[in-house]
Chain A
């Protein structure tokens, strides 16, 4: 018994530094932030040195009556559509570059470049691409998909702006997930692929029926990461459509939070925290769904 207590104490002592850091920089802000969501705490109170005032769920009621927030929330949910596309593409590319062929190192590096490119640089480039007289329209005209009369700025059209931004997110993200998947692929024995090949499976079947199921844990991790990233997307949205895009078509829930919390001296920490809580709850809900789906998949496999 005594021995056990000692072991536990030693374990906690080793954990303490990390726990203290987590408590100070993660748990405390999360708890305090959640509390703020139930208070009124505006700039004027802050300037006067007053404490937040508890008001129950009033902020949440106000949020669900605020068209701008609802629009933002809807756009954020739409943004999650990028997750499956991004994950499948990243995994497929990872499989493709995970071979011992010439120039593979070059491709791996090239696919990773967007991850480390600063958003300011990327925004200038994508702004050119999406212009009315930009590269994308030039290519589409070359392919006779559109003609010069129907060309439009992709970021200036309420129907295309959010998809254009998702393309940027896709471009910025897939190198990152590719690297994670390459790590996961190390765990897939070569013999399995060989066996599938000997059994007469096509490359597509091998990918879909052999590699994807074996990569389930990495897939779950990456999907969770990218779901959270999608629901919290901000950089590219603000850089390319600062006001929230045509008719607020790219205005996301996090932009609402950001404006309430950081937009000059008119800030409203109570509303910002409440809106942040709603986004967090949706994020957690989606992760539970993903865990469930993953488990069901495992049972079937």
Chain B
């Protein structure tokens, strides 16, 4: 009897021994299937060929990603590599869900693989929590409808170069053509504020990252907000900008010929090409106008390793592989992303001459990974603060509060809740 038990446990022990040799890690991407199935499958195959002891099980998660991650942690079955964006990485790291990746990949190696700016995008309280993956610039290019722009009396050379000129442009396009010139980013798809990015673009501070206190109540801040509010009240921006994400709204109106420009990444061009071939023929690209600071903010995706992962070492190897320059460049050739890896800027792919707007735009922004500027990082308790900021900005746009009152109220709420 005892002998039998011993034999069983020995067999079990051997089984475990074998299982340890072959490690299976789970990788979650976000909204990449089915469009990029081939790219991801090939890259995974490549990784497995180089690391015969590791197999990668890939899932593409979509709108329930965060909930699924929380549930899987609860069940003790956390994935090992997860693709998050900047705000989610911040709140996940602030609440202790993620692994400090410098404990897995030495800082020197991280700095060798990525530019500082993208790496800083995922650095929370001085520690890196994500391998930067593909990125984008918020003010990457200006896509424009050449017919409308001409009708408004602009030529390629007189297009706006600064945010102030862009406001004047939006006014003139509306006055002369009856269509909108441009739509500022007010909220993102989740309802979080984007408009305060215009403060940053003009070199004005948002909050003190050390104390968490709001810094957006100066007379310069008020004057800037007022400019936009006045434009909105005079009907130069569509009402829907307060309710809908700017990118979605811009696509809707641009494709109907009711909007002259979209300032953003090259991804809008693919959408225009799919939706309206004629319009795509009239679409051109130009350098995006910038604020007084001359900085173009941007964002990006990363690969994080949950604190609950059971195979952190292998997870780090895979995350590093997927985000290296070779694999990011392969990705950039399929879709207009901005690689965040060092060396991408020298790739001949970004130096092609072409008349096609998509290729032109990819070239203009593709090589600029090192300039991706995080702007400012999400504060602690960001969901509550952001909701209140949007509410106050909205009250200013709708004329319920003066710009000064709105910013003062938002700052009071911010200071009372940031460290809660």
Contact = CB atoms under 8 A, between A and B. Distances in A.
Interface in A250-270: 259, 262-267
B255 to A, nearest CB: 14
B96 A47 contact: yes
B111 to A, nearest CB: 27
Given A48-B96, A265-B88, A265-B95, A247 B391 contact: yes
A255 B140 CA distance: 34
Interface residues of B, number: 35
Contacts of B391: 68, 247-248
B82 to A, nearest CB: 12
Interface string B369-395: 000000000000111100110110011
A248 B187 CA distance: 14
A33 interface: no
Contact of B95 (A132, A156, A242, A266): A266
A258 to B, nearest CB: 11
Interface in A30-65: 42-44, 46-48
Interface residues of A, number: 29
B383 A243 contact: no
A153 interface: yes
A245 interface: yes
Contacts of B394: 243, 246-247
Contacts of A132: 239
A225 B92 CA distance: 38
Interface string A125-142: 000000110000000000
B177 to A, nearest CB: 16
Most B CB within 10 A of own CB, among A44, A47, A244, A246: A47
Contacts of B91: 43, 264-266
B96 A156 contact: no
B387 A68 contact: yes
B158 interface: no
A223 interface: no
B400 A44 contact: no
Contact of B243 (A152, A246, A259, A265): A246
A266 B385 CA distance: 11
Contacts of A266: 91, 95, 381-384
What 3 A-B pairs have minimum CB-CB distances, sorted nearest first? A243-B191, A265-B91, A43-B95
Given A43-B91, A242-B187, A247-B394, 15 more contacts: A44-B94, A47-B96, A155-B243, A156-B240, A243-B187, A243-B191, A243-B394, A246-B398, A247-B395, A247-B400, A259-B387, A263-B383, A264-B88, A265-B91, A266-B91
Interface of A: 42-44, 46-48, 68, 131-132, 152-153, 155-156, 158, 241-248, 259, 262-267
